[in-house]
């Protein structure tokens, strides 16, 4: 597969996952702020913004503007519209590699999401877009799995999706746990809902909402698709498949990095890490960044001299 194509598939997938993550968080946050609680509306919006748009959080968050900022701001690099545009733009660069169904689906979602001129005070319209992306995301995953050959391109799509998800989950967990002392049950429901995890959590741990159990579930649960552990396992699978296909490439560094990452979640208990959760989460994010760079160097932007040596 062309390196440029692999790169575009990877980024298409990352952008889509980013939009999906934002829509989950916004759905949950919007549900939360309707209720009175210890946390003010501003604090809740601040938490949402800081988990979705790290740069923007530094400035004051105006609750009236936050939703619009995260859904439709054409300047903000993190808005849902920007992410869907980014996903589509990458897909457009590799139209011949993805299935027609994937393209049609993504293209339609793009036009639905970007087609309306959104007024900053129109919350209902913003939430309609959020819902569109939520549903669109499940459908896109399904269409992708069902219509695309599960070969190299698919593995790059999987890699992009899960590396993005692992990082987003870590950032979100951090945003909730850094101020967990004030959190009430509603907030914890908010966190679980942000990870599409409320029902799954209740099934596994009952509806008793305990912070360390929630952290355990979202970090270390290998069976749940929106857990860090699950994401890292899928990344490992994708990387192994890619490396098996391209025997000639030097993949030791990638194997070392993904191995270390997995061991960070596979061989710990929540009690080992909950006290220094911020540091632990930052470590996972940093390792993901290193892995991203290593993949880029081996498969995408390798020097010509290296190519002729092998």
Partner 1 sequence: MIIETDASDHGGAEALRKYELNGAYDEMFRAVDSPRKQYRPLHNLLLNLGADELRRSKNEADQSFFNQGITFTVYGNDKGTERIFPNDLLPRIITAAEWDIIERGLVQRITALNLFLKDVYHEGKIIEDGVVPGNIIYTCKHYRREMRGIKVPRDIYVTVVGTDLIRTPEGKFVVLEDNLRVPSGVSYMLTSRRVMKQIFPGLFQKCRVRPIEQYSQALLSTLRFSAPEGRSEPTVVLLTPGAYNSAYFEHTYLARQMGIELVEGRDLVVHDNVVYMRTTFGLQRVDVIYRRIDDDYLDPLVFEGNSALGAVGLFNAYRAGNIAFANALGTGVADDKAIYAYVPKIIRYYLNQDPILENVETFLMSDAAQRDHVCQRLDQYVVKAVGESGGYGMLIGPHSTEAQRTEFREKILAQPRNYIAQPTINLSTAPCFVDGSIEPRHVDLRPYVLYGEKITIVPGGLTRVALRKGSLVVNSSQGGGSKDTWVLQN
Chain residues binding partner 1 by CB under 8 A are 1-6, 89, 92-97, 100, 103-104, 107-108, 111, 152, 242, 245-246, 248-249, 299-300, 302, 304, 307-308, 310
C-beta of 95: minimal distance to partner 1 in Å?
A: 3
Q: Kindly give the interhelix angle for 185-194 and 3-33, rounded to the nearest 10 degrees.
A: 160
Residue nearer to partner 1 on the CB measure, 163 or 219? 163
Q: How near is the Cβ of 302 to partner 1 at its closest, in Å?
A: 8
Please state the closest distance from residue 303 (CB atom) to partner 1, in A.
11
Query: From the CB of 2, what's the least distance to partner 1, in Å?
Result: 5
Least spacing, CB of residue 166 vs partner 1, in Å: 22
CB closer to partner 1 out of 109 and 228: 109
Round to whole Å and give the CA distance between 75 and 112: 19
Distance CA 235, CA 167 (A): 12
Contacts of 14 (CB under 8 A, 6+ apart): 160, 161, 163, 164
Integer Cα distance of 233 and 231 in angstroms: 5
Distance of CA 239 to the CA centre of its chain: 18
In whole angstroms, how close is the CB of 298 to partner 1 at the nearest point?
8
Kindly state the tokens that stand for 213. Answer: 């159990």
- Return phi, psi of residue 190, to 5°: -60, -45
Nearer to partner 1, 125 or 302 (CB): 302
Radius of gyration of the chain (CA): 20
Neighbouring residues of 236: CB distance < 8 A, sequence distance ≥ 6: 258, 259, 262
Name the residue nearer to partner 1 (CB basis): 25 or 109.
109
Report the residue number, 9 or 172, with the smaller CB distance to partner 1: 9
Q: Which residues of 185-215 are buried (b: 16+ CB within 10 A; e: fewer)?
A: ebbbbbbbbbbbbbebbeeeeeeebebebbb
Give 52 or 113: the residue with its C-beta nearer to partner 1: 113
Distance between CA atoms of residues 221 and 287, nearest Å: 19
In angstroms, give the least distance from the CB of 140 to partner 1.
14
- Is the Cβ of residue 36 or residue 115 nearer to partner 1 in the bound state? 115
């Amino acid at each position: 597969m062309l390196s440029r194509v692999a790169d575009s598939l990877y980024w298409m997938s990352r952008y889509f996952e980013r939009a999906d993550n934002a829509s989950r968080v916004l759905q949950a946050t919007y549900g939360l702020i309707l209720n009175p609680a210890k946390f003010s509306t501003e604090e809740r919006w601040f938490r949402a913004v800081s988990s979705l748009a790290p740069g923007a959080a530094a400035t004051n968050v105006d609750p009236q503007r936050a939703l619009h900022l995260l859904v439709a701001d054409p300047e903000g690099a993190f808005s849902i519209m920007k992410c869907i545009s980014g996903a589509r733009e990458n897909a457009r660069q590799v139209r011949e590699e993805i299935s027609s169904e994937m393209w049609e689906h993504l293209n339609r979602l793009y036009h639905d999401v970007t087609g309306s001129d959104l007024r900053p005070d129109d919350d209902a319209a913003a939430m309609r877009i959020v819902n569109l992306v939520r549903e669109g995301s499940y459908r896109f995953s399904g269409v992708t799995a069902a219509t695309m050959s599960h070969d190299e391109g698919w593995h790059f799509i999987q890699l992009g999706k899960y590396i993005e998800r692992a990082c987003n989950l870590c950032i979100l967990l951090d945003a909730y746990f850094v101020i967990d002392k004030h959190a009430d049950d509603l907030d914890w429901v908010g966190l679980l809902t942000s990870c599409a995890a409320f029902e799954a959590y209740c099934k596994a741990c009952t509806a008793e909402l305990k912070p360390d159990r929630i952290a355990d579930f979202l970090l270390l649960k290998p069976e749940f698709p929106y857990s860090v552990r699950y994401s890292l396992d899928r990344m490992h699978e994708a990387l192994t498949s890619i490396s098996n296909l391209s025997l000639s490439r030097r993949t030791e560094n990638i194997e070392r990095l993904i191995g270390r990452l997995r061991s960070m979640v596979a061989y710990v208990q929540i009690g080992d890490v909950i006290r220094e959760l911020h540091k632990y989460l930052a470590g996972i994010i940093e390792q993901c960044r290193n892995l991203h760079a290593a993949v880029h160097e081996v498969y995408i932007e390798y020097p010509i001299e290296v190519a002729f040596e092998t």
